[in-house]
Copies of this chain bind each other. A is one copy, B any other.
Amino acid sequence: MRPFTQVIDQLRTAGLRPTRQRLALAKLLFENGPRHVTAEMLRSDAHDASIRVSLATVYNTLHQFTKAGLLREIVVDPTRSYFDTTTTEHGHFFHEDTNLLEDFEGDVKLTNLPAIPEGSKISTVDVIIRLSSKN
């Protein structure tokens, strides 16, 4: 679990005021271990916790947190964006039948990596193992 004062610091560093909405969403995101959320999931959580936030603000906040380095966007589903509270490099399982996104246990090693095209540098490396039900 990420220390919460650190979250506030990172907001400050990013020039983001620690508003009621941002703090409440940060708590939902970071207070209970790693999470993978969509905007709709987070809005729903906020609603359940009696936090008044508009969906537009949820979207804004997710993107601001991502830019500030608090979240990482994971592109796995063409219809929805997922945000991961774990920002270090790691792989994902995506359960295609439940739309559930899950972190890997161990860390994957990539060997025989091709040469990076001239003039480009690696931004991130995504490793996604898509799973379907065995039956």
Contact = CB atoms under 8 A, between A and B. Distances in A.
A113 B95 CA distance: 16
A113 to B, nearest CB: 6
Task: Give this chain's copy count.
Answer: 2
| Main SS class of interface, A | strand
A70 B27 CA distance: 46
A116 interface: yes
A80 to B, nearest CB: 8
Given A77-B75, A127-B127, A129-B125, A108 B113 contact: yes
Contacts of A122: 129-131
A133 B119 CA distance: 6
B125 A130 contact: yes
A5 interface: no
Nearest to A125: B129
B130 A127 contact: no
